[in-house]
A and B are shown apart, each in its own frame.
Chain A
Amino acid sequence: MTHVVVDPVTRIEGHLRIEAEVDGGKVQDAWSSSTMFRGIELILKGRDPRDAWAFTQRICGVCTTVHAIASIRAVEDAIGASPPPNARLLRNLIIASQCVQDHVIHFYHLHALDWVDIVSALSADPAKTSALAQSISDWPLSSEKYFAAVRDRVKGFVERGQLGPFANAYWGHPAYKLPAEANLLAVAHYLEALDWQREFIQIHAVLGGKNPHLQSFLVGGMATPVDPDRQASLNAGSIAEMQGKIARARDFVEKVYIPDLLAIASFYKDWAAHGQGVGNYLVYGEYPEEDRPHARLFLPSGVIRGRDLSKVEPFDPAKITEQVTHSWYEYSGGDGQALHPFDGETKPRYTGPAPPYERLDTAGKYSWLKSPRYDGLPMEVGPLSRMLVAYASGHERVKGLVGAVLQKLGVGPEALFSTLGRVAARGIETQILAEKMGDWLTELAQNMGRRELRIHDNSKWEPSTWPAEATGAGFHEAPRGALGHWVHIKNGAIANYQCVVPSTWNAGPRDAKGNRGPYEQALLGTPVADPEKPVEILRTVHSFDPCMACGVHVVDAKRREIARVRAV
C-alpha cells in the first residue's frame, strides 16, 4: 500500500489536495481537501443585500457570473422583487455563454493534457494529421501545411529548452494512448481554443461591461439598458454583434470540440469503467423560460438516486444540509449536527497540522469544505447530473445528442456513470446551449422591436419597501453544478449568508457516517501505473472540473511516504 499526495492539483481553480492509498496498481481509498479559506460569508454580515452579488462574485473568477446570479436571486426571493422579461433573457444569455466558454476551456486547457501527450505530437506526420482531421470534421483549418506549421512551432518551443508551463509533466507516461497524429490535432486545437475563448467571451463585455467579473447585475433586474434607438443602450448593433459570436461558437463547438471529444474518447473507452462516483445526481435546473417564481426551465431540476434513470424525483430544497464532522469548522450545537443552510453557521476552527506539513489527519478534520448532503446522501452535481436528469426527464434534444454520442462510441447508457461520461456530458451540454442561445437573443430583439424596454423592477429597490425581516434562497446551475445561496435579511442588512457551491458538493470530505464525498468515491479503483506520476488520478479529479485549489497525497500504508505529488 502506497500513500500518495497530490498537492497542488493544478489546472483547476483554487487550492485542492488529494491524498490516496494505492495498492495493486489501483486507488483503494482517497481523501479530498480544500486548503484555502477566506470567510466571505462572514464578511457579508451587516452589509447591504444589494451589494452581496459583487462580494459573492469574487468567490470565483473562472465561473465569474455564477455567484452573482445566485445572490441576486436569493435577495429577490427574500424581498419579493420580480425581474422583467428582458432581465431574464439577459441573464440566460450571460449564464449560457459562461457555460459554453467554461466548458471549452476546461476541455482544451484544463483537462486535455491528461489525455494528450504534447511531446508525442512532435513526431506526427502532418499529412496523416490532415487526413484524420478531415475524416472527422469539415473545419477548414485542416491542411497538411497548417499542421506542419503547428508541429514546427511546438518543436521550436521544445527545442529551445524553456518549456514554461509544460515543463516536468507526464509526457511519455504509459497511460497516454493517442497516436501522434491525434496528439498533434489536439495541440493545434488547444491553441485555436485559446484564441476562440477570448473572442467569444466579448459577449460578456457587451452584456456586463467586462469579463472577468461582469458588472451589470442588480437585485431586481439588470443594469444594461435596452433600447434599439440609443447609442448608450444595448441596441440593434449589439444584437448583431452577439449573433455573430453565437454563430461562430456553434461552429467551433460542432466542428472542433465535439469531433475532438469523440475522437479522443474512442481511444480511452476503458475510462467509461472508471470514476463512477456516488451514483446520486442533484440538479436545481436552469434557464427560466417564463417570468414568475417556479418558472418552466429549459434544463429541468430533479434528483436521481443509485444510477436509476427510470425515476427522477422532484428537487426539494428542504432536504439540503451541511455537516462539519471532517471540516475545519465548528457548530454551536455540536459538530455532529446536519444544518440546513438557513440555519447554517460558518465558524472556522483549524485543527489540522501546522504548515509546513506532509500529511493531513484524515481520521479527524481535514478540509476547508463542509460536507453537503441531500436527504442525508452525498450527491454529484455538474454537467453529467444535468444531462442525466434531462435525459431521464425526456428532454428531446438531450436524448437525441446523448443517444448519438453513445452510438458513435459504441457504448450503452451505463457508460455515462464514469470519468468519460462526465467529459462527454460536458460536450453535449455545450452544444445544446450554443444552439439555444440564439433563441433567447431573438426573443430579446423582438422585445426591443415592440418597445418592451424594461430591465428592472424599481418597486423593490429602496430598502424602505422591504419587510423588516425576510429570508430567501437563490438557485442556479453553474458550469460545475448546482449552486445555492441562502440569505437572511434583517432591517435592511444581511443577518446571515450561506453558500453551498458545486465543488463543495463534489469535493467535500466524508460525512458523520463516514460516507465519502463524490471525488473520494470516484477515485476508488482508479488505476495508477506509477504512484510518482499519478496522471490517472488527475483524469478522474479533473473530470469534475474542480473549482478550488487542492492536492492528492499518496502515502505508504506503513506510514512510509513513498510518493509525493505536491508543489510549493
Chain B
Amino acid sequence: MSERPFLVELESRGVSRREFVGFCGVMASVLALPRAYATTIARAVAKTEKPVLVWLEFQDCAGNTESFLRASRPTAAEVILDTLSVDYHETIMAAAGHQAEEALAKTLRERAGKYIAVVEGSIPTGENGAYCTVGGKSALQIAREVCGGAAATIAIGTCAAFGGIPAASPNPTGALGVADAVPGVKNLINLSACPANVENLTALIVYYLTFGNWPPVDRYRRPLFAYGKSIHDNCERRAHYDAGQYVEAWGDEGHRTGYCLYKMGCKGPVTFQNCPNVRWNGGTNWPIGCGHPCIGCAEPDFWDKMTPFYQHLSGIPGFQSATSIDRVGLWATAGVGAAFAAHGLVSLLRQAGREQPPSGTKKPPEGESAKGDRP
C-alpha cells in the first residue's frame, strides 16, 4: 500500500497548488486564525498521509451524513474529505452484511490507535441495548469497541454529542451521547447542531491534520472556532434588535424587512454556533436569513430547554416581565447569564489567538465548568 503525499494526491485530482493554498486561507478564516496561518495549514496538510475515518451510525436520522455530502465550499473541501479514507460508513459503503463487518474489523486491527472515529446518533442503554443493534451487536458494544481503539473521536450532531432528540423527555430508550455512553473515551470532540454544519467538520479535520491535536474547546467540548460566540452576537439582524424593531406576525412588514425574530421565539441569544458567519449549503443561506427563529439546536437538551420554540426567551433586557416564569423562562434566565459569561471568555481567547499560535490544548478554558471533562 503506497500512500502518496497529499499535494500529489490533490494534483492527480485536478486541484492545483494555488487552489489548495486558497482553500487553506478560507479554512484559516473559518478557524478564526490569522491569515498567515494559511501557509502553516498548507504545509501541514500537504505532508499528511491519508488518514482513516470510521463513521458509525446509531440512533440517528443520517442528517449529519447528508450534511457531510453537501460539502461545497471551496471545491477542495470535497477533495479533502474524499482524500480521507472512509473505511466504514453504512450509508455510502458498497459492501453489506458480513463483508462490511470484515472491512471494519480489518481497520480496527490494522489501524489500531490511529484511525478517527466519527459517531452519529445517540446510544441507547435501555433493554440491554436492544433499541439499536447493527449486525446483532448493540450500539453500546460497538461504540465502546470502536471509540476505545481510536486515536480520537468526533461526536457529530447533537444526538451523538449530548443525546439529542432520543434523549428528550421522557427519554424512552435511555439514550446517551458518546461522552456518557463510553466512559473514559479519549480525545473526544463534540460537533453539535442538528445537523452539524459540514464546514465545521472540514475545518476541524484540517485543524487536526495541521496541529496534530484538537482545537481549544468550550465546557461542552466544542471547538471554540465554531461555538465561541452566540448567534445573537453575530446576527445580521442584531441592529434591529438594538433598535427595538421586531417581527410581530409571520409575513408582516417587519418580517419582510428582516427585523429581529426575538419575539417570535428566537433562541439566538443563548445558542453558540457560527451559523451567521459560515451559513449553510455553500454559504447560500441560514435559518434566520430565511425568516425563521433559531431553535438552539447546538445546545445540550435543546429539545426540552428551548421549547416551546415559538415562546420568546425571558431574561433579556427589556423583556423580563413579558413572560410568566415557567420551566423555559427559568432556564433561559440562567442560560443568558452563562452566555454572557462565556462571551467574555471567548473574547479574551480570540485576542490571545491573534498574538500567538493556538496551543491546541484540550483543556477547557479556565473558569468553565468541568462538564467538558466528564468521563
* Chain B CB within 10 A, most for which of A7, A54, A215: A215
Tell me, in angstroms, the Cα distance from A105 to B282 when the chains sit together.
Answer: 19
Tell me, in angstroms, the Cα distance from A202 to B72 when the chains sit together.
Answer: 10
Q: CB < 8 Å: which of B95, B132, B136 contacts A356? A: B136
- Interface hits, A477-504 → B, CB 8 Å: none
Q: CB < 8 Å: which of B12, B57, B84 contacts A153? A: B12
Tell me, in angstroms, the Cα distance from A194 to B135 when the chains sit together.
Answer: 28
Tell me, in angstroms, the Cα distance from A54 to B158 when the chains sit together.
Answer: 14
> Residue A423 at the B interface, CB < 8 A?
no
B100 close to A64 (CB less than 8 A): no
> Residue B303 at the A interface, CB < 8 A?
yes
Q: CB < 8 Å: which of B13, B85, B308 contacts A51? A: B308
Q: CB < 8 Å: which of B95, B96, B104, B132 contacts A37? A: B132
> Residue A126 at the B interface, CB < 8 A?
no
Given the complex, which residues of A lie within 8 Å of B135, measured CB to CB? Answer: 7-8, 551, 566-568
Q: CB < 8 Å: which of A37, A40, A168, A233 contacts B256? A: A233
> Residue A225 at the B interface, CB < 8 A?
yes
Taking residues whose C-beta sits less than 8 angstroms from the other chain, chain B's interface range is 35 or more
Given the complex, which residues of A lie within 8 Å of B61, measured CB to CB? Answer: 13, 58-62
B1 close to A160 (CB less than 8 A): yes
Q: CB < 8 Å: which of B2, B63, B70, B172 contacts A348? A: B172
- Interface hits, B296-314 → A, CB 8 Å: 303, 307-310
Chain A facing B: main interface SS: loop
A209 close to B286 (CB less than 8 A): yes
A355 close to B136 (CB less than 8 A): yes
> Residue A375 at the B interface, CB < 8 A?
no
A47 close to B307 (CB less than 8 A): yes
Given the complex, which residues of B lie within 8 Å of A225, measured CB to CB? Answer: 251, 255-256, 291
Given the complex, which residues of B lie within 8 Å of A161, measured CB to CB? Answer: 1-2
Given the complex, which residues of A lie within 8 Å of B78, measured CB to CB? Answer: 194-195
* Chain A CB within 10 A, most for which of B14, B71, B93: B93
Q: CB < 8 Å: which of B60, B64, B134 contacts A35? A: B134
> Residue A408 at the B interface, CB < 8 A?
no
A165 close to B94 (CB less than 8 A): yes
Assuming the contacts A38-B175, A210-B286, A211-B70, asked whether A568 and B104 have C-beta atoms less than 8 A apart, the reply is yes
Tell me, in angstroms, the Cα distance from A333 to B63 when the chains sit together.
Answer: 37
Tell me, in angstroms, the Cα distance from A132 to B127 when the chains sit together.
Answer: 55
Q: CB < 8 Å: which of A50, A62, A167, A216 contacts B66? A: A62
* Chain A CB within 10 A, most for which of B4, B91, B133: B133
B62 close to A38 (CB less than 8 A): no
Tell me, in angstroms, the Cα distance from A266 to B326 when the chains sit together.
Answer: 64
> Residue A310 at the B interface, CB < 8 A?
no
Q: CB < 8 Å: which of B105, B257, B307 contacts A230? A: B257
A357 close to B136 (CB less than 8 A): yes
Q: CB < 8 Å: which of A6, A160, A216 contacts B291? A: A216
Assuming the contacts A60-B62, A202-B284, asked whether A567 and B291 have C-beta atoms less than 8 A apart, the reply is no
- Interface hits, A201-246 → B, CB 8 Å: 201-202, 204-213, 215-218, 220-221, 223-227, 230-233
A61 close to B256 (CB less than 8 A): no
B134 close to A549 (CB less than 8 A): yes
Assuming the contacts A162-B85, A209-B290, A232-B291, asked whether A223 and B258 have C-beta atoms less than 8 A apart, the reply is no
- Total interface residues on A, CB under 8 Å, equals 109
> Residue A297 at the B interface, CB < 8 A?
no
> Residue A269 at the B interface, CB < 8 A?
no
Q: CB < 8 Å: which of B50, B165, B249 contacts A458? A: B249
Selecting from A448-456, A467-475, A515-523, the interface stretch reads A448-456
> Residue B131 at the A interface, CB < 8 A?
yes
CB distance from A143 to the nearest CB of B (A): 15
> Residue B142 at the A interface, CB < 8 A?
yes
Given the complex, which residues of B lie within 8 Å of A109, measured CB to CB? Answer: 92
B251 close to A205 (CB less than 8 A): no
- Interface hits, B4-36 → A, CB 8 Å: 4, 12-14
CB distance from B26 to the nearest CB of A (A): 17
- Interface hits, B244-298 → A, CB 8 Å: 249-251, 255-258, 280-282, 284-292, 295
> Residue B101 at the A interface, CB < 8 A?
yes
A156 close to B12 (CB less than 8 A): yes
Q: CB < 8 Å: which of B3, B58, B71 contacts A198? A: B71
Assuming the contacts A38-B175, A167-B103, A212-B66, asked whether A224 and B290 have C-beta atoms less than 8 A apart, the reply is yes
Assuming the contacts A7-B97, A202-B281, asked whether A212 and B91 have C-beta atoms less than 8 A apart, the reply is no
- Interface hits, B150-178 → A, CB 8 Å: 164-166, 168-170, 172-173, 175
Assuming the contacts A211-B281, A215-B290, A551-B97, asked whether A566 and B256 have C-beta atoms less than 8 A apart, the reply is no
In this complex, what residue of A is CB-closest to B172? A39
Tell me, in angstroms, the Cα distance from A556 to B338 when the chains sit together.
Answer: 60
> Residue A164 at the B interface, CB < 8 A?
yes
A565 close to B99 (CB less than 8 A): yes
Given the complex, which residues of B lie within 8 Å of A350, measured CB to CB? Answer: 127, 130-131
A355 close to B85 (CB less than 8 A): no
Q: CB < 8 Å: which of B72, B137, B257 contacts A568? A: B137
CB distance from B66 to the nearest CB of A (A): 4
Given the complex, which residues of A lie within 8 Å of B195, measured CB to CB? Answer: 61, 212-213
A213 close to B256 (CB less than 8 A): no
Q: CB < 8 Å: which of B93, B130, B175, B290 contacts A10? A: B93
In this complex, what residue of A is CB-closest to B66? A212
Q: CB < 8 Å: which of A50, A534, A567 contacts B134? A: A567
In this complex, what residue of A is CB-closest to B264? A223
Tell me, in angstroms, the Cα distance from A455 to B132 when the chains sit together.
Answer: 40
> Residue A199 at the B interface, CB < 8 A?
yes
Given the complex, which residues of A lie within 8 Å of B99, measured CB to CB? Answer: 168-170, 533, 565, 567
Q: CB < 8 Å: which of A11, A58, A232, A358 contacts B194? A: A58
> Residue B202 at the A interface, CB < 8 A?
no
B258 close to A9 (CB less than 8 A): no
Tell me, in angstroms, the Cα distance from A446 to B61 when the chains sit together.
Answer: 37
In this complex, what residue of A is CB-closest to B87? A164
A168 close to B128 (CB less than 8 A): no
A43 close to B256 (CB less than 8 A): no
> Residue B59 at the A interface, CB < 8 A?
yes
A204 close to B281 (CB less than 8 A): yes
Given the complex, which residues of A lie within 8 Å of B142, measured CB to CB? Answer: 568
- 1/0 per residue A341-361: CB within 8 Å of B? 000000010101011111000
> Residue B239 at the A interface, CB < 8 A?
no
CB distance from B176 to the nearest CB of A (A): 13
Tell me, in angstroms, the Cα distance from A169 to B87 when the chains sit together.
Answer: 12
> Residue B316 at the A interface, CB < 8 A?
no
A202 close to B251 (CB less than 8 A): no
Q: CB < 8 Å: which of B96, B133, B292 contacts A565? A: B96
> Residue A304 at the B interface, CB < 8 A?
no
> Residue A55 at the B interface, CB < 8 A?
yes
> Residue A113 at the B interface, CB < 8 A?
yes
- Interface hits, B212-237 → A, CB 8 Å: none
B136 close to A7 (CB less than 8 A): yes
Tell me, in angstroms, the Cα distance from A323 to B97 when the chains sit together.
Answer: 29
Given the complex, which residues of A lie within 8 Å of B95, measured CB to CB? Answer: 10, 167-170, 567
Given the complex, which residues of A lie within 8 Å of B288, measured CB to CB? Answer: 209
Assuming the contacts A6-B97, A35-B133, A153-B12, asked whether A165 and B92 have C-beta atoms less than 8 A apart, the reply is yes
Given the complex, which residues of A lie within 8 Å of B124, measured CB to CB? Answer: 37
> Residue A48 at the B interface, CB < 8 A?
yes
In this complex, what residue of A is CB-closest to B13? A153
CB distance from B172 to the nearest CB of A (A): 3
Q: A205-B281, A212-B70, A350-B130 are in contact. List 5 more A-B contacts (CB 8 A).
A: A169-B94, A199-B72, A551-B134, A565-B97, A565-B98
A-B contact pairs, 22 of them (CB 8 A): A14-B62, A36-B58, A36-B59, A37-B173, A43-B169, A43-B303, A50-B308, A58-B63, A62-B61, A164-B84, A170-B99, A201-B70, A204-B281, A205-B281, A205-B282, A206-B290, A216-B291, A225-B291, A348-B131, A368-B131, A533-B99, A566-B98
Interface pairs A-B: 3 shortest CB-CB: A565-B97, A61-B63, A232-B258
